[in-house]
Amino acid sequence: MTMTAVGGREVKVDPEGFLTDPQEWDEALAEVFAQRIGLDLTDGHWAAIRFARSDFTATGETPTLRRMAIAGGVSTKDMFNLFPKKPAKKLAYVAGLPKPVGCV
């Protein structure tokens, strides 16, 4: 675990930059993480982020693309439009959640 400065404060991250404590996350931090990967957050992004965080709280796991489509109501196509190339991984990063199981 490494400490890094993000948005003017210190947070704990893993070697890939994912937060190790989802409780350190807030919306301002999400904006910084999004900018780092070239995203401007829209209402669609926020809906996906809020569902992912809520689902993580309920299940203890970061939602996969399949779960986002079935339970979150965000189609796989929409996820790829919102978070291009690696949508589940990018969503987890911005949402301050662990990398989803199975993501490379």
Classify residue 102: in a domain, yes or no: no
The chain-wide mean pLDDT, for the chain, equals 92
Q: Is the pLDDT of residue 41 over 80?
A: yes
Classify residue 54: in a domain, yes or no: yes
Classify residue 20: in a domain, yes or no: yes
The letter for the amino acid at 34 is A
**Mean pLDDT along residues 40-47:** 97
Instruction: Catalogue the active-site residues.
Output: 103
Which domain covers residue 56, as residue numbers? 2-95
Q: How far apart are CA 23 and CA 21, in angstroms?
A: 5
Classify residue 104: in a domain, yes or no: no
Phi–psi pair at 30, nearest 5 degrees: -60, -40
Classify residue 68: in a domain, yes or no: yes
Total count of domains within the chain: 1
| pLDDT tens-digit map of 59-88 | 999 999 999 999 999 999 999 999 999 999
Q: How confident is the model at residue 24 (pLDDT cuts 50, 70, 90)?
A: very high
Q: What is the three-class DSSP state of 101?
A: coil
